[in-house]
Amino acid sequence: MKSVAAALKVSPALIYKWCEAPAEKEDPDQSGAKNPLDRVRELYLLTKDVRLVRWLCNEAGGFFIGNPVPDLRRTPDEIIFDETRGMVRDFSELLDAITVSLDNDKVIDTQEAEQIREKWEDLKACVERFVVGCEKGHYHPKRK
């Protein structure tokens, strides 16, 4: 704990406070302090900007995908059609971003690369969500 505290330039006592439950409205005398992860969660909840979560996942060497939520009001065929259409749309947007970047000067600059990355993240998340949905059986009718 001391080495983590030193690296973060905070006291070891604060690190220990982060390990305790944060103070709640019903018990404001509780000793825990909001840890950095609680603050990141609050940032996301306030902004609803998934780029924050994507950035954090990228820093950890991975990527973020939302959990698939089955839509029980529609048939599996309707859901698969919409999911497939979404994947094709996202792939098309990725190709458009690449084409636009190369059309002007045959070079992809840093800003254009960021736009391509954003489209790639959208496509990757869409396809992964679909595959996880397939694995969980969201796209077949329930058997009686």
The answer as to whether 70 is a domain residue is no
Q: What is the dihedral of CA 21, 23, 26, 29, to 10 degrees?
A: 110
Furthest CA-CA distance within the chain? 61
Q: What is the dihedral of CA 138, 47, 115, 134, to 10 degrees?
A: -10
pTM exceeding the 0.85 threshold for the entire prediction: no
Q: What are the phi and psi torsion angles at 14 (to 5°)?
A: -65, -40
* 31 pLDDT more than 80: no
pLDDT averaged over every residue in the chain: 86
pLDDT tens digit sequence for 95-122: 999 999 999 799 999 999 999 999 998 8
pLDDT tens digit sequence for 68-83: 777 778 888 888 899 9
The answer as to whether 47 is a domain residue is no
Mean local confidence (pLDDT), 36-43: 89
The answer as to whether 31 is a domain residue is yes
The answer as to whether 127 is a domain residue is yes
Question: What range defines the domain where residue 97 resides?
Answer: 76-135
SS (H, E, C) 32-76: ECCCHHHHHHHHHHHHCCHHHHHHHHHHCCCCCCCCCCCCCCCCH
The answer as to whether 130 is a domain residue is yes
Between 49-63, 109-123, 125-139, the lowest mean confidence (pLDDT) is in: 125-139
The answer as to whether 144 is a domain residue is no
Residue 68's pLDDT is 75
Domain count, the chain: 2
The answer as to whether 141 is a domain residue is no
- Contact criterion met (CB below 8 Å) for 14 and 33: yes
The answer as to whether 100 is a domain residue is yes
- Contact criterion met (CB below 8 Å) for 16 and 32: no
